[in-house]
Amino acid sequence: MKFEQRIPRETSARLFEEAQEYFPGGVNSPVRAFRSVSGPPLFIREGHGSHMTDVDGNRFLDFCCSWGPLIHGHDNAHIRERVIETVRRGTSFGTPTEMGNRLGKLILENHRYVERIRFVSSGTEAVMSALRLARGVTGKTRIIKFEGCYHGHVDQLLVKAGSGLVTFGTSSSAGVPESVARDTLVLPLGNRELLEQTLTEQAGQVACIIVEPVPANNGLLIQDKSWLEDLRAVAHKYGVLLIFDEVISGFRVGFEGAAGYYDVQPDIITFGKVIGGGFPVGAYGASKEIMDHIAPVGPVYQAGTLSANPVAMAAGLAALEQCLEPDFYTRLEARTHEMATALEDYARERGYPLHVPHIGSIFWLAFGTERIERADQIDPANMEYFKVIHHELLQTGVYLGPSGYEVGFVSSAHTPEDLEEAVTKICAAMDVAFAR
């Protein structure tokens, strides 16, 4: 398929060619290579508010938002000033700082589902630490995860299902030993009977169930509240811990994340993205009883040189303070719903096979007309539609993440006028995609 480039990308193309001499595939995270869409990846020069500008001078209305962290958009003044003020005093000391206390206090005073928290440097590190904690608390080794949920590049979770329904995982990445993958059981989302059957057979060896309560790394697979309630009940029944991976949904669908949105109490929650205000921060939290298993109080070891460094803590504090402003999440959700509804109405009127699942300020362009709750319901052939839509949007100044499996994000910097513009341009891109 040949795509007509109507915007200049020569500088990005040159920088990408150069980058391939330095980095595997020319990138430092695989999806950035643009292999699922058209042309070279964009090299971004700067971002302000709801827009960002690439090195060729093209300006884009941004719905990737750095894959979710930028809930207040680019170059947010409150975050910027707090970070600059902090940097002037030093960037890292390898000691506790008051800024870490302030962010921890703010979270715990406004999040009913955790009593203690530990800061780390990424969502992947948070998940890795949460798994170790669950094993340390229970004395068991196996993990249950679900197809369609992604939990970072942790060895134990870079697995896929084998043959049959109840399956031990098999490695989905080179470098992950099968001996590690075999301790992970992979089940389909939403299958209550199979979950109970698995735990009946394996409960004596299963430390935890880990799930994205809002699966948003392989499409947006919105689950019924009853499924999450069942996970809670079954985990309690069989004496295993329930981990909510809220690296994406935490502080995004509400300050209390999916735990608060659905009012389901997990045993451990992992955080990332929004919690760092644009800086690399992750965290995991739980009850005081569970968190007291972590060193130096307990026997579960975890450490990090840059954990809770003052600059990242300052950025996170400035971001979350704004999230606590009255009606912040109500306004953001309403704007996202209005945009998604307008896109769905347009698609339905023209008979286009597209709908827009959304929750909080997260949305996804889903192809087909039926609700998608499991990864196996996504038809890979439909990603050709996304490829066309993504290309057309770049030509008209709208940026989505460069994969049809990735979700989009609305920030508080997106104005009603921005969203109206996006609807107009996405509808025009639909016309091109579905005319082929």
- Decide: 178 and 171 in contact? Cβ < 8 Å: yes
Orientation of helix 383-396 relative to helix 416-435, angle to 10°: 130
Say whether 155 is catalytic.
no
Active-site residue (options: 245, 262, 346, 352): 245
Q: CB neighbours (10 Å) of residue 118? A: 20
Three-class DSSP labels, 92-105: CCCCCCHHHHHHHH
Residue carrying structure tokens 């970072």? 152
Q: Is 43 exposed, middle or buried (0-12, 13-18, 19+ CB in 10 A)?
A: middle
CA dist., res. 143 & res. 133, Å (int)? 12
Alpha helices by DSSP H, 277-411: 288-291, 310-323, 328-350, 383-396
Q: Which of 140, 145, 273, 425 is catalytic?
A: 273
Distance, CA of 186 to CA of 211 (rounded, Å): 11
β-bridge pairing 44-48 and 206-211:
unpaired
User: What is the rounded distance in angstroms from the CA atom of residue 154 to the CA atom of residue 183?
Assistant: 13
Annotated catalytic residue: which of 62, 113, 150, 387?
150
CA-CA-CA-CA torsion for 290, 293, 294, 297, nearest 10 degrees? 120
Cβ 245 vs Cβ 222: under 8 Å:
no
Nearest Cα to 73, choosing from 47, 42, 53, 46? Answer: 47
245 included as an active-site residue: yes
Phi, psi of 143 (to 5 degrees): -130, 140
Per the annotation, the verdict on 273 as an active-site residue is yes
Q: Are strands 206-211 and 358-359 parallel, antiparallel or unpaired?
A: unpaired
Q: Which two tokens stand for residue 308?
A: 């809770």
At 71, list the tokens. Answer: 């809930």
Catalytic residues: 150, 245, 273
